[in-house]
Amino acid sequence: MNNTPSQDSIPHDRIVSRSELKPHWGVRFTDVHLRRLEKAGLFPRRVRLGKGTIGWLASELDQYLARLAAARTAEGGAE
């Protein structure tokens, strides 16, 4: 019996490019700040797609933004 998952059962995630972070996700951090946050575990780690090409998994960005929203709610609401 073949235990390899079929292509249809493998979950796919969209890759978000650096240029999409600000206009589509509202993330306006500089490259240096993003690296610091990633290293500290405070922002999703980038995916290296090739030489000089990076991106982030959309699902991890969703989780990151959800954590920020939850922290805001825990602090007593929006400012």
pLDDT for 12: 76
Contact present, 53 and 36 (Cβ < 8 Å): no
User: Residue-wise pLDDT tens for the chain (79 aa)?
Assistant: 556 655 555 567 899 999 999 999 999 999 999 999 999 999 999 999 999 899 999 999 999 999 999 998 777 755 5
Say which amino acid occupies 11: P
- The whole-angstrom separation of Cα 70 and Cα 64 is 10
The domain ranges of the chain are 13-73
H or E, element range at 20: helix 18-25
